[in-house]
Structure 1
Amino acid sequence: MKSFSLLSRGTGVAFLAPAGLLIGAFVIAPFFWVIFVSFTNRSLLGRTAVDPDFVGLANYFSLFDAATFFTRGEFGSSLILTIQFVLLSAVVGQAALGMLLAWMLQSVPKSLKHLTETVAIGAWILPEVVIAFAWFAFLDYENGTLNMIMEALGFPRGDWLLSFPFWAIVVFNTWRGTAFSMMLFNSAFSSIPPSYFQAADVAGASSWQKFRDIGFPLIRGHVVTDLILITMWSFNVFTPFLLTSGGPSYRTEILPIYTYRIAFRDFDFGKGAAVGVVVMLINLVFALFYLWVMRRRAKGVAA
């Protein structure tokens, strides 16, 4: 009679089977379904909702049509807008501001540092919907907190979501994601041996010189990790929809919002699925680049 062992291969498969079924049902199957739908003219209403026709690459050709590619409200315009949004809010905003705050935390009292970390974590774990509606109330023209502050200081009111919608979502996403970058860089700076900075203090180095010659070179790998992660997150973020709904006049319609409009407002599931496939391919490029950087870093550490 065979003895039962928790370390046997069969036991491992049994424990992994439920997770595998869930992944297959909610990740793998929808992935291939979206690819299939992107080659059809499936819609939410009408005959094609039940019996769609196979249209080949027609949906992809419509996305990359040179005649309309750069027209506002089309795929090309949304792609360019998304790239600008990611560069400004993630690379320039979250990464740079997060690093600056993390570096400043290295020279403050521990009690203030712990308080700042607690507040940052609190801001990071709040649901995005709550954050979006809080920012909507902050930027509202009639009763927004920002306009009340402007009036108290003697400045005129501003219709921020109508006059500066793109910059509004850039600032919103920067504020939303800076906490993550700050915490990551703070941990990276804290892992550097204090003796390095003490020796620099003895030599009379300024804060900028210590950052340039000691801090930044030693956390360069963390910088790459942070940039890739926040780039992927910002590329797929949908929360700005709660502030502007993609408007006015498609001026804030980044790719996730564009996909939502095509699929669930225009009911063109086929074209919406094609957009989703293109976005997945872009994310795949980011992921492969991330793995390549991590492998190079691992080889450098091993060497």
Structure 2
Amino acid sequence: MNLKILKIKAWIRDNLDQIVLSLLIVPALALIFTFQFIPAAWTIWFSFTDMALIGKKALNWSFIGFKNYLDLITDVYFWRSMNVTIQYCAVSLVLRFTIGMLAALFMTLSKVKGKIFIAAVFLLPSAIPGIMHPYVWISMLEPNYGTLNTILGSFGLPRQSWTYGAVTESLIMINTWAGYTFTMILMASAFKSIPREYYEVAEVYGASRWQKFRKVTFPLIKFPLILCLILIFKEDIDDFTYAYMFTGESPRPDFKTELLSLYAYHKAFHYYELGFGCAVGFIIAIIVFVLTLLQLKFARL
């Protein structure tokens, strides 16, 4: 018995660092389990039930198998929401990546004075708290006295109905403004990681700018670039804040702002179909999970 105790003490002494590190991550794991794993598990389970927020089904709900998912396939509003989401993500992806890439190129290749100040200006959207973004843009997009329509009016251009007629474009514009800095930071880091000696060797062999980009720059930034595209799409696929800002508690008749995340919210909390809303949420989770697998695959390369 004493020999076993001595062996245990010796093992603890030899592995004390690993034990301490393991204990330090226990609170984080507890928070993740409590606020992410358990809600996710309940969401998956509810998606196989006919649970509602009010009425008899709030208490006397029953297991219905894949009925919610079969109803999704035939639900025209789900596919309209899917179409809006794909358009929103695709256009936002192009704009966020393009603007962020141009900003990264400017910050890494240009030799203008005051580049630090310009970088600070570029980073302003990410410096402003996210909770303030809707209030800033609502004041800018207000049809009568908003900043954008005031600028259009000063050039003799017609005012736009940013919050109704062009609401999808407004969502994309806000998301691009708030998110292009992610691309800028990631790609600027990728450009900076390329050793200067590679370009010097290319210049010795008489390579043109296009050849240096094709043979040196692009191969070395290819995987960060792909990773950036996946992360942007993954971030936008479950976007909610800006769409809710223009929509509110009930869906718009034209469905122009009904992203999948907002559709799930309206199904669960406006129409009280909690089980159906959880099924939509689980579809979003599957898409995000697949994108995460792609992200991890390219992150290892």
> What's the TM-score once normalised by structure 2's chain length?
0.87
User: 2:147, 2:200 → 1: CA distance?
Assistant: 44
Matched, 1:17 2:26: yes
Indicate conservation of the 8 Å contact 2:80/2:255, yes or no: no
1:241-298 CA distance string (max 9 Å, x none)? 2442163521121111111111111111100111111111111111112222234x1x
The worse-fitting range, judged by mean Cα deviation, of 211-220 and 276-285 is 211-220
User: 1:133, 1:209 → 2: CA distance?
Assistant: 46
Match of 1:79 in 2: 82
1:176-204 CA distance string (max 9 Å, x none)? 11111011111111121223445556747
Match of 2:66 in 1: 57
Indicate conservation of the 8 Å contact 1:132/1:242, yes or no: no
Indicate conservation of the 8 Å contact 1:228/1:286, yes or no: yes
Match of 1:205 in 2: 208
Q: Which amino acid aligns with 1:211?
A: F
Identity percentage over the alignment?
33
Indicate conservation of the 8 Å contact 1:133/1:242, yes or no: no
Indicate conservation of the 8 Å contact 2:107/2:115, yes or no: yes
Indicate conservation of the 8 Å contact 2:244/2:262, yes or no: no
Matched, 1:255 2:255: no
List runs of 5+ in structure 1 lacking aligned partners.
298-303
User: 2:152, 2:218 → 1: CA distance?
Assistant: 38
Cα distance, 1:129 vs structure 2:
2.7
Matched, 1:265 2:270: yes
List runs of 5+ in structure 2 lacking aligned partners.
1-5
Aligned residues: 288
Match of 2:48 in 1: 39
Match of 1:157 in 2: 159
User: 1:109, 1:8 → 2: CA distance?
Assistant: 48
Match of 1:300 in 2: none
Match of 2:296 in 1: 291
SS at match of 2:159: coil
Cα distance, 1:46 vs structure 2:
1.2
Cα distance, 1:105 vs structure 2:
2.2
Indicate conservation of the 8 Å contact 1:169/1:243, yes or no: no
Matched, 1:223 2:225: yes
User: 2:92, 2:255 → 1: CA distance?
Assistant: 18
Match of 2:138 in 1: 136
> What's the TM-score once normalised by structure 1's chain length?
0.86
Match of 1:112 in 2: 114
The worse-fitting range, judged by mean Cα deviation, of 109-118 and 221-230 is 109-118
Match of 2:92 in 1: 89
Across the aligned residues of Structure 1 and Structure 2, the Cα RMSD in angstroms comes to 2.3
Sort the Cα spacing of 1:116 and 1:247 in 2 relative to 1 into closer, same or farther, 3 A: farther
User: 1:201, 1:100 → 2: CA distance?
Assistant: 23
Cα distance, 1:51 vs structure 2:
2.3
Sort the Cα spacing of 1:143 and 1:61 in 2 relative to 1 into closer, same or farther, 3 A: same
SS at match of 1:143: coil
Cα distance, 1:131 vs structure 2:
1.4
Sort the Cα spacing of 1:21 and 1:62 in 2 relative to 1 into closer, same or farther, 3 A: same
Q: Which of the numbers 273, 280, 286 marks the counterpart of 2:285?
A: 280
User: 1:93, 1:269 → 2: CA distance?
Assistant: 35
Q: Which amino acid aligns with 1:7?
A: L
